[in-house]
Amino acid sequence: MIAALILGSYALLLAVVGPGVVARVWPSGRMPRVTVVVLQVVSCSFLTAAATAGLALGLTLIDTLSRMDPQIDRCADQLPINDDSPVGPFLGWFGLVAGAALVVRVGFCLAATFLSAWWTRRKHIAILRICARADQELGVLVLEHDEPGCYCLPGRPGTIVITSSALTRLSPAQLGAVLAHERAHLTGRHHFAVAFAHAIHRTAPRIRLLGLVEQETRRLVEFIADDAAVRRSGTVALVSALAVLGAGSTAPGSAPGFALGVGMDRRPAASSRVTRLAHGQNGRRGLAMGAIGSALLIIVPLVLAALSVATVIHGCPPDKDGDADALALPPSVRLVGAAGAAESVGAVGSAGSVGSAGSVGSVASVFPGTSWDAAFGNSAAG
């Protein structure tokens, strides 16, 4: 019960405090790669704590299960659970059902998100093969469209799609920066991070923390790709290309939102990206803080769950039967016990119920290596 309370409080603390820390305190723009990892860990830590809290409530059912096995009954006697209260079993079943339902929903949302994105990309690529033309020199597909735009479709191999209007408006340096940006998305497999964040948000759409994780992940993968484009083509070329393309400021729905898992209509505004590029970025700052934060977020719920299991195991007394106790006794005590048993056997044998020789032989097979002449002298005489 205490473990469930601690895990539930930890999940509640993440849900309440986490959004403010991410939005106001955490320097995400200076270390986008680390922040993406931390955000994924935060969402996983929240769900792990919530599910484990529910499953930990199942420990209150141990009194009900104790009727099935004596060992479980010994555990139930050691746990601080009120056997007379009907609240314990109710909380136990509620926790088990809620925890299991959360685990199933997470798995369903992950499978549905990734399969849906794969199927939609596949259909979109089939349409592009009909409507677009391949530019072998650039290694892209050119789509005839009056509005400038560029996006990528992950896969094997990944595909970059650019509109004919963008080709006419962008200079060679700007075009190189745009293509470097999209290739960074493909090589970094950013669609996995975005799809994962989207699936986790679908699991509990009313939790603000998970919505912020998805939003920030979409924003930060653009920053990561911007950094790659700057290293390749320079800041001036990328900033001017953003001005031409408007960073995907097309009307909603004009570009496929599943293309990267981001879509041009869901990318961060050009102003925020340009401002970040103008002020520069320091990807190394805060790396240690991000690593420590990620480790703590992973370890805390796992440690709490392990402590709850250890509490149950510690409370269960060992199962000792009579044979194990007898074999654990010192040899001198075993010898005295054997002599007493032999006297009893001899007495029974003298009454004619059991033969003394056969009885001594059976006992000798159980207690080998003992001086039976001394131990059974009285019985033989009798």
Q: How far is the C-alpha of 143 from the C-alpha of 145, rounded, in Å?
A: 6
- For tokens 């009056």, the residue is 146
pLDDT at 313 over 60: no
Q: Which residue has the higher pLDDT, 348 or 246?
A: 246
**Overall pTM surpassing 0.85 (yes/no):** no
163 DSSP β-pair partners:
143
Strands of the sheet with 140-143, listed across from one edge: 133-135, 140-143, 159-163, 150-153
* Kind and range of the H or E run holding 248: none
Q: Are 58 and 96 in contact (CB under 8 A)?
A: yes
DSSP string of 281-345, one letter each residue: --TTTTHHHHHHHHHHHHHHHHHHHHHHHHHHHHHSPP---HHHHHHTS-HHHHHHHHHHHHHHH
Other CB atoms within a 10 A radius of the CB of residue 264 amount to 22
State both tokens at 141. 């597909």
Q: How confident is the model at residue 142 (pLDDT cuts 50, 70, 90)?
A: very high
The pLDDT value recorded for residue 97 is 82
pLDDT at 210 over 50: yes
Q: Are 27 and 285 in contact (CB under 8 A)?
A: yes
Q: Which residue has the higher pLDDT, 128 or 325?
A: 128
**Highest mean pLDDT range out of 206-220, 270-284, 347-361, 363-377?**
206-220
- For tokens 């194990």, the residue is 324
Mind listing the pLDDT tens digit for each residue in 13-22? 888 888 887 7
* Kind and range of the H or E run holding 140: strand 140-143
The pLDDT value recorded for residue 300 is 66
Q: How far is the C-alpha of 57 from the C-alpha of 59, rounded, in Å?
A: 5
Mean pLDDT of 298-313: 62
* Kind and range of the H or E run holding 152: strand 150-153
Q: How far is the C-alpha of 57 from the C-alpha of 176, rounded, in Å?
A: 57
What residue type is 108 in one-letter code? Answer: F
